[in-house]
Amino acid sequence: MKLRVGFLIAAALIAAPSLLMAQEKGGVINVATIGEPPTLDPMTSTADLVGIVTQHIFETLYTFDKGWNVTPLLAESLPEISADGKTYTIKLRTGIKFHDDSVMTSNDVVASLNRWIKLASRGKQAGGFIESITAQDPATVVIKLKQPYAPLTSLLAFNNSAAIIIPASKQADTMTDFIGTGPYKLKERKPDQYIQLVRFDGYKSRDGESNGYGGARHQYLDEIRFVPVPDANTRVEAAISGQYDYIDSLPVESFDKLKSSSATQPLLLKPFGYPVFVFNTADGITKNVAIRKAIRQALSMEDMLAAAFGSTNFYTVDGNMYPAPYTWSTDAGVKGNYNVADPEGAAAAAKAAGYKGEPIRILTSRQYEFHYKMAQVAAEYLKQAGFQVDLQVVDWATLTQRRTDKALWDIYISHSPFLPEPALIGTLSPSSPGWWSTPTSKAAIDAFNTEVDPKKRIELWANVQKTMYDEAPMMKIGDFNAVAAISTKLQGVDPAPWPYFWNASIKK
């Protein structure tokens, strides 16, 4: 499915890093992130922070180009797919080395994909459709499906709950040796201080031009350091002073300050994605769909967006899971279920659903300041509707760990970029925190995933979105634009939802 949009949906780069100067090797950059990643094993986490760091260490068979089309990475080419859509033959690139200098073969790929369908939420999502994964020869892998499964290559390409390829000898459930094929390798991790990556001299880049996450990956930098800076205001001041070379996830109100800095330039990624409130559908008070709908009925999405982002330059009130001009954009299910802002009606609905004053436990973090601001507004609306609210403010790593325990929460607040394939949306995976799985959801999602005709898939996606509104496993709050900052000395960094630095260099 080709989107009618460019990389990051025509990301608006307000002050683009200059690419006019020749890029030279050498130097170290420091990247300020929102915090400490909970793990460096991207198979076992859906946290964007994990993917941002680990995409430099590990690689997948496929990735996405700047038009969000699937493109080969460790695979030699796109898969050969049988006429019945059930056999994928994947040719591998040869001579690819892991960071321990062993050479990648099909045995490593088979072992890695089996680990993926065992441990990764998105791997489990695909695993139900997979009959077997085998090595046909040292450079060929064959995946046989029980029935056609349209999202397979997109899932194999995604860096979130990622199908990374690691040595067959390193397949333990808990990763202790972080050995990939990426352009940079892990040298040192000091928790809460930095993650140090250094150039892997044995790296074999693809030929040709760089193209989004695909194409050639150049290793200009000697070293990349990811530094956790949990406080949003501290990140802003560090950006203005030029303390870091790239600063991720800045409050939108800092935009004008950043424009006046001589050390950094602001990046506006427009539209970036959507904030989301995810319900626990498996346990606790929100297991009851009527309670979930009553909570949604109480809330003003518009007020939450205004509190989080201030100006409409940075947000849009929109209940469609995908905005125009995405081919997936539909308003199915939205009317009457989005931005209702009716606490009084919600109170009556909650009472009819059997609500008896149980606390609604909302997990949020101030490392993404807009999450916290939305949580504050939501809490006030819910109190007006008669709900008891337990607002739990924790660091992001704790939130990503706590959300995996069904007994600990009712709502957690997160966000997502607009993803090129709807099947990549975490809520659609029954193993993703939230654990949405009903006969109706399974029928709608399976019909969408097993249809290979692009036009029919668009129609079937509308039914999936309607089912999401009917059963309320999550609430999309709206669309938002993201702000980051980049040093005036750093070049070769394209705006992207998961920033990458293998093509980056320092101006001499």
Q: pLDDT for 121-135, tens place per residue?
A: 999 999 999 999 999
Q: What is the DSSP letter of 43?
A: G
Identify any residues that bridge with 184 across adjacent strands, giving them in sequence order: 199
Strands 359-364 and 388-393: parallel
Range(s) within the chain of domains with CATH label 3.40.190.10: 28-224+489-506
Token reading at 502: 């293998």
Q: What pLDDT does residue 20 have? A: 45
For residue 320, the tally of other CB atoms under 10 A from its CB is 19
Query: pLDDT band at residue 22, thresholds of 50, 70 and 90?
Result: low
Residue type, 429: S
Q: How many residues does the chain have?
A: 508
pLDDT number for residue 21: 54
State yes or no: pLDDT of 150 exceeds 70.
yes
**Higher-pLDDT residue of 360, 10:** 360
Contacts of 160 (CB under 8 A, 6+ apart): 42, 46, 48, 50, 51, 122, 424
DSSP β-bridge partners for residue 390: 361
Q: Which residue has the tokens 């352009």?
A: 183
* Count of CB atoms situated within 10 Å of the CB of 313: 11
Distance CA 40, CA 57 (A): 9
pLDDT band at 508, cuts 50/70/90? Answer: confident
Average pLDDT, the chain: 93
Q: Which of 20-29, 44-53, 141-150, 480-489 has the lowest mean pLDDT?
A: 20-29
Residue 50 corresponds to which tokens in the numbers above?
A: 């994990």
Q: What is the pTM (predicted TM-score) of this model?
A: 0.87
Mean pLDDT value of segment 254-270: 91
The answer to which of 6-20, 57-71, 90-104, 369-383 has the lowest mean pLDDT is 6-20
Pure H helices in 158-288: 232-241, 255-259
Classified as helix, coil or strand, 196 is strand
- Hey, what are 491's tokens? 């070049």
* Distance, CA of 7 to CA of 180 (rounded, Å): 26
Interval 67-111: pLDDT, tens: 889 999 999 999 999 999 999 999 999 999 999 999 999 999 999
Report the pLDDT averaged over residues 360-382.
Answer: 97
Measured CA to CA, the distance from residue 182 to residue 59 in angstroms comes to: 6
pLDDT digits (tens, 9 = 90+) for 418-474: 999 999 999 999 999 999 999 999 999 999 999 999 999 999 999 999 999 999 999
Q: What CATH number labels 28-224+489-506?
A: 3.40.190.10
Question: Binning pLDDT at 50, 70 and 90, where does residue 56 land?
Answer: very high
Please state the rounded mean pLDDT for residues 183-206.
Answer: 97
Q: Residue 62: enclosing H or E segment and its boundaries?
A: strand 62-64
The answer regarding whether domain 271-481 maps to CATH 3.10.20.30 reads no
List every span in the chain annotated with CATH 3.10.105.10: 271-481
Strand ranges (E), 93-212 = 130-137, 140-145, 184-190, 194-199, 210-211
